[in-house]
Structure 1
Amino acid sequence: MLKARRSSEKALLTFAWGALVYTVLVILWGAVVRIAGAGAGCGDHWPLCNGAVVPPTPTVQTLIEFSHRLTSGLSGFVALVLVVWVFRARPKGDPARLGAAASLVLLVFEGLVGGLQVRLGWTADSTHPGRGFIQGVHLANTFSLIAAFALTIHWLRGAPLVRLRGQGWWSVGVVSTLVGVLALGMAGAVTALGDLLYRPTGSTPLDTLRSDFSATATFFEQLRVVHPVLGVLVCAGLFVLARTAMARRPSADVARWSAAVTALIISQGFVGFLNVALKAPNWLQLSHLLFACLLWLATVLLGYNVLAASSRSSAPSRASKEVTA
């Protein structure tokens, strides 16, 4: 009986990992749709494609967009299976239930945001300023979605539910860092859109910067500088948090995720530099997005384990106060 239960828990954990990996792949495929200019492959129809469930005589762009809708729909089914499985396997009050339910809700919202973008016609070569806003919202929800999957996995492995209250400056540092990385990702989504609509010009990055601030520069071109500047500031703060946590909140999990965050900051910085220097080639944009997802997940798990370590380290002091009182 115990062996069967352990086997079931292992299968559930494997499925949750599969859901996370599959969702990241769907996100990358969504970027391919944007890069290929295939966002209007189904016209302004949603959830139908060109007014049909299965589009007749589809073009290449229609196939790209339609395949993204199919893979996104499958991810919704995967999330639903995960919710049902977790709710059957875990008792009431288990944090894994919260993570699984949040994943499903965020996935539904992800589809609605994408559908709204299609219905408004803010796809393909649309330069409407509102497209930048909805692109940022889309990215924020995407990051929240994969964070929910990652925390579900963390809770399925037995991690406790941590609280922000009573953590002092640790909670401020963790929340500020998470908000910063999220804002960085949103700025990156807008920058990627600008690179798609207005390919960087000039023989050097400095020439591109000058053209982005010329009198004829568009809204999206002028915003391009925000992402790299924000990247330097946010990654510096994230590096400080990682190093401080390793020194003052030592634990195996904190050390592991601090090392991961540090490595990803270096890797992402290098990829970002190449992206600017090589004028945002398509394959490098996808690599940049993949590293952004990995850095976000590592930051979430680092922050979570920092708060967990802070809770453990503060527990004896609270107990001693009670004894003294």
Structure 2
Amino acid sequence: MSGTLTVPRARAGAWLPRLAWAALIYNVLVILWGAVVRITGAGAGCGDHWPLCNGVVVPQSPTLHTVIEFSHRLTSAASGLLAITLIVLAFRAVPRGHPARLGAVVSFGLILLEGLVGGVQVLLGLTADSTDPARGFVQGIHLANTFLLLAALLLTALWASGAPGLRLRRQGLVGGWSYVGLGLMLVLGMAGAVTALGDLLFLPADGSTPIETVKRDFAVTASVIENLRVVHPMLAVLTSAFLVWLGVFLRRERPGAEVRRWSAVLWGVLAVQMVAGFSNVILKAPGWVQLVHLLLALALWLALVMLVYRALTGLSVQGGRARVEGNV
């Protein structure tokens, strides 16, 4: 990455940071609309055709499910065009070696992968009411790629706005524990995607208690997806405790206003997310709670990425002297 500590915003161009932040916000909305596709069971609205919809470019006399699925494909395609525009603007607005160029290219690559994973789901019939265990695996991969995409877009927006480049190596325990936190969040998100799928396919509509539902998940006739539903809440407790500790640790090791600010944001979103997760279980995962839960998961991930970024580019206190971390 760039060896320059900061890049003046003027050199990055007036439109580059605006487009980068807009791309981040837009992709969050696209992700939420994708969740609507899953919740409504509209994933098969275009049949088993991809990238065509029911074998044609524009569906004729579409059903509601077709409209929902086709609109998701259109908004996803628009995110790809937005990413291409971001690359063009980055290569014109900033010099060679600027991290915003790398961020834009990586973001586009992850958007392509996002589309390919979605296409695989459709072509293999892993949509709508499919209970194939492979669907859970693909859902997990899809969510992990989504998290990485948002992280890439966030970093691109920061770099385009003149924020410091990032050094990953030689960060000591700060780097090590930060990477553990990011890894745990990725795994938690993947587990959450499987649980959300299990809620959609297997959550009983009767008055079963959460304990009765768990027992049903481990019955002899239960599927792998049902077996894995319990992993997410258990992992959520472990990850939440670790993130609270990580915020305290980073505040001590890399003291600074930005680390304090983003650790507080992380803890606040985490607290709200725990309430949302508990409500999701008690209310038997209604669609609107699932959307809120997903939105908070995205916010939590972005807050963690910001906290780690600020810690890795912030002050390090060693031997009683503060120094600014450089870049590679």
TM (norm. structure 1) is 0.92
1:26, CA displacement in angstroms? Answer: 0.3
CA distance in 2 between counterparts of 1:211 and 1:46 reads 36
CA distance in 2 between counterparts of 1:233 and 1:275 reads 18
Residue 222 (structure 2) pairs with residue 217 (structure 1): yes
| 2:225 partner letter | F
CA distance in 1 between counterparts of 2:78 and 2:220 reads 46
Residue 69 (structure 2) pairs with residue 49 (structure 1): no
In structure 2, the partner of 1:304 is: 309
In structure 2, the partner of 1:194 is: 198
1:166 and 1:6, CA in 2 relative to 1: closer, same or farther beyond 3 A?
closer
| 1:197 partner letter | L
1:208 and 1:44, CA in 2 relative to 1: closer, same or farther beyond 3 A?
same
| 1:240 partner letter | W
Structure 2 residue corresponding to 1:239, chosen from 235, 244, 247: 244
- Contact map agreement 1:202 1:208 (CA 8 A) in 2: no
1:39, CA displacement in angstroms? Answer: 0.6
1:309 and 1:140, CA in 2 relative to 1: closer, same or farther beyond 3 A?
same
1:171, CA displacement in angstroms? Answer: 1.2
1:309, CA displacement in angstroms? Answer: 2.1
Deviates more, 1:60-69 or 1:150-159: 150-159
Instruction: Specify the SS of the correspondent of 1:300.
Output: helix
1:39 and 1:236, CA in 2 relative to 1: closer, same or farther beyond 3 A?
same
Residues paired across the two proteins, number: 314
1:71-150 to 2 correspondences below 5 Å: 71-150=75-154
| C-alpha distance after superposition, 1:290-318 (max 9, x if no partner) | 000010011111111111125x5459979
Structure 1 residue corresponding to 2:33, chosen from 26, 29, 41: 29
Structure with a larger share of its residues in helix: 1
Deviates more, 1:231-240 or 1:201-210: 201-210
Structure 2 residue corresponding to 1:155, chosen from 150, 159, 166: 159
Residue 287 (structure 2) pairs with residue 282 (structure 1): yes
- Contact map agreement 2:12 2:160 (CA 8 A) in 1: no
Higher relative contact order (CA 8 A, sep 6+): 2
- Structure 1 unpaired stretches of 5+: 320-325
In structure 1, the partner of 2:6 is: none
| 1:139 partner letter | L
CA distance in 2 between counterparts of 1:8 and 1:234 reads 37
1:304 and 1:8, CA in 2 relative to 1: closer, same or farther beyond 3 A?
closer
CA distance in 1 between counterparts of 2:50 and 2:285 reads 30
CA distance in 2 between counterparts of 1:314 and 1:59 reads 64
| TM-align CA RMSD | 1.9
In structure 2, the partner of 1:292 is: 297
- Structure 2 unpaired stretches of 5+: 1-8, 324-328
Structure 1 residue corresponding to 2:258, chosen from 223, 248, 253: 253
| C-alpha distance after superposition, 1:243-269 (max 9, x if no partner) | 121233111211111011000110110
| 1:104 partner letter | F
